[in-house]
Amino acid sequence: MSTPFILKPTESRQGKALNVLGMPVYLKLAGSDTANQLSVFIAEYGKNQGPPLHAHDVDEWFYVLEGEHIFQANDQRFIGKPGDSIFVPRNTPHTTLCISDGGKLLFTVNATGPVELMFEKLDAYTQMPSVEELIQAHAELGIEILGPPIEP
């Protein structure tokens, strides 16, 4: 059973921000805190940063804290601004791209395993992984890379 805790804005359950493809990601609520029911992250994006198009077997919910972001889910694209929330059901191809000078997204995933492990795996790279390495690392955790990031 987890005990109550507080984390300051730049604190993470892992003790540090994870470097996920050049973006600092802070784990605010870990699967180990919630019997693997939920994880909560805050990711800081630079302009034109975002993950490749991907899909996984967990629902994901985003809340825009700062900046403007293009969200793509299936063939739909829309702009998320501070205060907007976006739900992406499991197995839906999706990605996002920060189009402002910087931004922050809070996001949660249910059934926490693959996403937390993926971020830890990506943090372990000392240089940007190749496309092949990214595809392989994601596939090992049941996350499918379906295409490149959104073009700015």
* CATH of residue 73: 2.60.120.10
Q: Any residues with CB less than 8 A from the CB of 62 and at least 6 apart, and which?
A: 71, 80, 85, 86, 87, 88, 96, 105, 106, 107
The pLDDT assigned to 85 comes to 96
How far is the CA of 61 from the CAs of 51, 82, 85, 126, 134, in angstroms?
15, 14, 7, 29, 23
Assign 131 to helix, strand or coil: helix
> Residue type for 4, please?
P
Is residue 108, in this structure, part of any structural domain at all? yes
Which helix H or strand E contains 61, and what residues bound it?
strand 60-66
Residue 29 C-alpha from the chain's centroid: 13
Is residue 115, in this structure, part of any structural domain at all? yes
Is residue 52, in this structure, part of any structural domain at all? yes
Is residue 4, in this structure, part of any structural domain at all? no
> Residue type for 146, please?
L
Assign 45 to helix, strand or coil: strand
Is residue 1, in this structure, part of any structural domain at all? no
Range of the domain at 85: 18-146
The pLDDT assigned to 43 comes to 94
Q: Are 40 and 61 in contact (CB under 8 A)?
A: no
The pLDDT assigned to 26 comes to 95
Report DSSP state, residue 67.
S
Q: Which residues of the chain have pLDDT under 70?
A: 1, 111-114
How far is the CA of 44 from the CAs of 36, 85, 97, 105, in angstroms?
24, 16, 11, 7
Is residue 37, in this structure, part of any structural domain at all? yes
Encoding tokens for residue 115?
């996403």
Give the pLDDT confidence of 83-118 residue by residue, as tens digits: 999 999 999 999 999 999 999 998 877 766 667 888
The pLDDT assigned to 1 comes to 57
Is residue 152, in this structure, part of any structural domain at all? no
The total domain count for the chain is 1
